[in-house]
């Protein structure tokens, strides 16, 4: 049976009153391309539905241009309307907007929990792991507790110049939930896989993370 993957995007467009933000386009576009080339069915949803706000878009990148022009990006489903039982994996794409709406959105948490507890893969890249900060399983435990993770680092937040603007520091928040944060070099690809949880540190990690998700779906989902 064909595997199905959901890419989840933020709907928040304000970076603390400093500048506009949204989802970081290559962190969705490159996985979208990789998943489709692997023969997967790929759907895209966002917190509020409709066309989500964009950040970091490079129209000279064919993958990004194709994704932005696609019907599924122009009119995303609303996460509240998503039936998680249809998916073998969910990927939470990053972008600073996620720091505001992912952690406390009930459907961000519901979809991740249901996919994971059905034996699926939960993946997140850059600021996408903000979806994991408050994601608990049915027994009340945090999904990330005791697990190795990658996420946008405090150092990268400082280099980006918004460490004092974001509502919290992502690496610290994940560590507070019991995760073991494993940082790589600044702006260098870093992917960490712990069972069926796959996370990436920054934009450079999006494509290699997607490749690991393809491997996981080939080897674990459905067992």
Catalytic residue ranges: 126-127, 157
Beta strands in 97-168 (DSSP E): 121-125, 148-149
Place of tokens 């027994």: 139
For 164, residues 6+ apart whose C-beta sits below 8 A from its C-beta are none
Which pairs with CB-CB distance under 8 Å and at least 24 residues apart come from 16-22? 16/162, 16/165, 16/166, 16/167, 18/162, 18/165, 20/53, 20/55, 21/53, 21/55, 21/95, 21/96, 21/97, 22/52, 22/53, 22/54, 22/55, 22/95, 22/97
In degrees rounded to 5, what are phi and psi of residue 69?
Answer: -85, -10
């Amino acid at each position: 049976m064909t595997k199905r993957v959901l890419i989840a995007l933020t709907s928040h467009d304000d970076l603390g009153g400093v500048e506009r933000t949204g989802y970081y386009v290559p962190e969705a576009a490159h996985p979208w391309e990789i998943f489709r080339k692997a023969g997967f069915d790929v759907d895209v949803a966002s917190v509020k539905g409709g066309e989500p706000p964009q950040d970091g878009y490079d129209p000279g990148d064919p993958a990004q241009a194709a994704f932005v022009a696609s019907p599924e990006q122009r009119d995303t489903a609303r996460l509240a309307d998503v039936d998680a039982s249809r998916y073998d994996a969910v990927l939470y794409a990053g972008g600073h907007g996620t720091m505001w709406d992912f952690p406390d959105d009930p459907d961000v948490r519901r979809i991740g929990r249901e996919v994971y507890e059905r034996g699926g893969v939960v993946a997140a890249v850059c600021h996408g792991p903000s979806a994991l900060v408050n994601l608990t399983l049915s027994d009340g435990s945090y999904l990330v507790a005791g697990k190795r993770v990658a996420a946008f680092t405090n150092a990268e937040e400082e280099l980006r110049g918004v460490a004092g603007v974001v509502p919290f520091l992502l690496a610290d928040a994940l560590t507070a939930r019991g995760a073991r944060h494993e940082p790589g070099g600044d702006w260098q690809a870093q992917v960490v896989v712990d069972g069926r949880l796959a996370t990436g540190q920054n934009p450079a990690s999006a494509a290699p993370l997607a490749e690991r998700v393809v491997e996981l779906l080939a080897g674990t989902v459905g067992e």
